Structure 1
Amino acid sequence: MPCRQNTPRKDLLASYVEIDFPEITTKKAMSIRKNKDLSLLLGRPEDVKLAHGGTALHAPAYHLIPLDLRLPPGQALGNALNSDAGAGLLSPNLPTLLLFECVLVYMRPAESEALIQWFVDYFSAGDDGAVLGAIVYEMFGLNDPFGKVMLNNLRARNVDLPGAESYPTFDSLLQRFLRHGFDASHALTLREIRRTYISHQELERISQLEMLDEIEELELVLQHYAITWGVKLYERNGQSLKANWKGWALRAPEDQQ
């Protein structure tokens, strides 16, 4: 979202590209144009423009694009990023981070794998030393009794998760990136993140905002959500980048080390 550009390192961001269904991007674009504070974060009013009948929005460093990512990426994604409005949004020569927040699990495995492979192939045309990172946040391991209850509850609401079956275990999460030639792949469940990577002070603060008695039930849910991340390093001249990325991970707060 545009508010993420309001950070100390915002000037280092070449471009933030957000992709969603047209019905979603339309609402977001209208909200941004109607909200003065959001618009000001993106630049001067004359530099924030609607496109494609109000389903898209473009600003100097933020681009909202309507697209169904289930479509063949070579055609759909390639056309969107190479159109007049999208030209230059994705440079294979710049370090790029892909963020998938509960996206791939709603796609068939063949569709999500084609999408990731498209980015891998696209960045292979970049300069020596190009870096492609990816982070996925979604549910997994829904083949156990608790997971089946989650699936049934979602299906009762007409929500299907065709991508969940390919990741029945924690170890299977790592293969999402490794099968595409990524140099590193890691994962953490939200339960582990809550236990190890959030400070006691923060947990106490949150508990005062909302009382939570069923910790065991919460942890069962968190055990079925994970953050998986990987990095693909493009190097053709023998220069190793791997040492620079060994520490790419969450760090536990000092009071829990």
Structure 2
Amino acid sequence: MNRAVQETDYDAFSCKVSAIAKHYLPRQVAGEEKEEGEFVQLHMAYAQGLKSVSRRAYSKVDRAVKSAQPVMNYGTYLRSIAIDEAIACFLKEHANFGADAPVQVVNLGCGSDLRMVQLLSQVPHMKWLDLDFKESVALKSRILKDNSLFQRELGPSEATETAEYSTSRYCLASCNLNDIAQVAETLKRFTTQDCPTLVLSECVLCYMKSIESRALIDYIKSFYKTGTWISYDPIGGDDSADKFGKIMQTNLRESRHLEMPTLMIFNSPEKYVQRFDTPPPSTSVVTMWQYYVQSVSSEEKMRLKALQFLDEIEELEIILSHYILAEASWL
């Protein structure tokens, strides 16, 4: 099961590469041409690194990129910018913190996510911890260490027995999120309890059993004095006529030997918020369809429309309505 979950990262990375190739990403923002160029360069460098260290993994990514459909590119675009905006809001809220009291990000199930590279250079008072299964971390570490671009941006890794990649501000370490004792030890070693903490989980909680995900959330919320949790996940749908979740479960089980134990438990935005046990206004949740309709400008919608022909608008709405971005904060 762990191997199957780890390989979902190839899906996520291939979707991002496809969205870049078709110019969905990065989002076009006036005056940020340098950042846009760096975004593409970083992801292309990582793809080439993947090709060098694991032909098998690269082949999976390459095949997925070639078969990516417009609805997938839309989904990847929205997932990326929605999370980026949530991170930006958190950093703006804590902009007054300095070197003596930094903010920190803990990325659970980080996979091949490269957000840390640009954000660490843009936010001097931030520290970042990437966590994932041992095999995933070893692969990512090799790519980061073998490429001068990542070495220049992150700094050379220091020798350590407890992390695959470690600098004064960035750490990449292995951790089984189902093992709370291991999670506790890792967070105590690499993070600080009393500074504002942003926790990221992208398609992580959905693959965990209810008891393990509950334990993970409860421990992290009790460990950090103040924090915000940003979680991106699929939901199964709570309408009796809604077959999306059941079809997804069946397809994953038959084709990938994957299970989503809580897909049909936290199967609506309202139920998903209950994962975090924090009352409004400390919690919020939005489906990706709501985000697309409400938060993407008319000009940006026109830009996206010009990239690829998309006639499955109803299909797009159905898919995006079954993915959510949740935010939960605690003091």
Instruction: Report the TM-score when normalising by structure 2.
Output: 0.60
Q: Which residue of 2 aligns with 1:213?
A: 311
Q: Which residue of 1 aligns with 2:211?
A: 110
Query: CA deviation digits over 1:69-88, x for unaligned, max 9?
Result: 011x1x11122234xxxx3x
More deviation, 181-190/134-143: 181-190
Q: Distance in 1 between matches of 2:326 and 2:164?
A: 29
- Name the one with the larger strand percent: 1
Q: Which residue of 2 aligns with 1:10?
A: 123
Amino acid at match of 1:218: L
Q: What SS does structure 2 have at the residue aligned with 1:227?
A: strand
Structure 2 counterpart of 1:78, from 184, 193, 202: 184
- 2:261 equivalent to 1:162: yes
Q: Which residue of 1 aligns with 2:273?
A: 174
Following TM superposition, by how much is the alpha carbon of 1:208 offset from its aligned partner in structure 2, in angstroms? 2.5
Which structure 1 segments of 5+ residues have no match? Answer: 125-130, 234-257
- Name the one with the larger helix percent: 2
Q: Distance in 2 between matches of 1:172 and 1:61?
A: 36
Q: Which residue of 2 aligns with 1:49?
A: 158
Q: How does 1:91-102 map to 2 (within 5 A)?
A: 91-102=192-203
Q: What SS does structure 2 have at the residue aligned with 1:69?
A: coil
Query: CA deviation digits over 1:84-112, x for unaligned, max 9?
Result: xxx3x321211001001000110001101
- 2:235 equivalent to 1:140: yes
Q: Distance in 2 between matches of 1:184 and 1:206?
A: 32
Q: What SS does structure 2 have at the residue aligned with 1:49?
A: coil
Q: Which residue of 2 aligns with 1:248?
A: none
Q: Distance in 2 between matches of 1:182 and 1:36?
A: 45
C-alpha RMSD of the superposition: 2.1
Summarize the Cα distance change of 1:181–1:110 in structure 2 as closer, same or farther, 3 Å threshold: farther
Q: Distance in 2 between matches of 1:3 and 1:109?
A: 28
Q: What SS does structure 1 have at the residue aligned with 2:283?
A: strand
Q: What SS does structure 2 have at the residue aligned with 1:6?
A: helix
- 2:247 equivalent to 1:149: yes
Amino acid at match of 1:58: S
- Asked if the contact 2:285/2:325 (under 8 Å) is kept, the reply is yes
Following TM superposition, by how much is the alpha carbon of 1:181 offset from its aligned partner in structure 2, in angstroms? 6.9
Following TM superposition, by how much is the alpha carbon of 1:61 offset from its aligned partner in structure 2, in angstroms? 1.1
Summarize the Cα distance change of 1:3–1:38 in structure 2 as closer, same or farther, 3 Å threshold: farther
Q: What percent identity do the matched residue pairs reach?
A: 28
Following TM superposition, by how much is the alpha carbon of 1:36 offset from its aligned partner in structure 2, in angstroms? 1.0
- 2:167 equivalent to 1:59: yes
Q: Which residue of 2 aligns with 1:31?
A: 143
Q: How does 1:191-210 map to 2 (within 5 A)?
A: 191-210=289-308
Q: What SS does structure 1 have at the residue aligned with 2:274?
A: helix
Q: Distance in 1 between matches of 2:327 and 2:253?
A: 28
- 2:325 equivalent to 1:230: no
Q: Which residue of 2 aligns with 1:246?
A: none
